[in-house]
Amino acid sequence: MNGLLSERNIRMIGRVCGWASALLLLFTVLTGYGISEFRTVTSLTFGILGKATSQKLHHYTDIPLLIFLSVHIGLALWGRLGRRDKGVDR
């Protein structure tokens, strides 16, 4: 199948969503640590992530993380189930 929904494009979208989820998860952990241990994180980030900034950014990362992770998992399961229906094993 050619076009936007080819297997290659779906796999690429899944990979991009997976990497975006991983980066957002690391950023969420960093900002969460910046809320609780703000002195350490502020010095490690050269003053970029203070307590207030970490709290704002931490609040805004939950929905995009869930969206990217859901798309990644959904495409992975869809691809796995689609190949199984066709009788193709990895």
Q: What is the DSSP string of the chain?
A: --STT-HHHHHHHHHHHHHHHHHHHHHHHHHHHHHHSHHHHHHHTTTSS-HHHHHHHHHHSHHHHHHHHHHHHHHHHHHHHHHHHHT---
Asked if the structure places residue 89 within a domain, the reply is: no
Asked if the structure places residue 42 within a domain, the reply is: yes
Asked if the structure places residue 27 within a domain, the reply is: yes
Asked if the structure places residue 4 within a domain, the reply is: no
Asked if the structure places residue 22 within a domain, the reply is: yes
Asked if the structure places residue 72 within a domain, the reply is: yes
Of residues 54 and 4, more confidently modeled: 54
Asked if the structure places residue 28 within a domain, the reply is: yes
Structural domain that includes position 42: 18-76
**Residues 64/24, Cβ–Cβ less than 8 Å:** yes
Q: Is the pTM value of this prediction over 0.75?
A: no
pLDDT of 46-67, one tens digit each? 888 888 888 898 889 889 999 9
Asked if the structure places residue 49 within a domain, the reply is: yes
What's the total number of domains in the chain?
Answer: 1
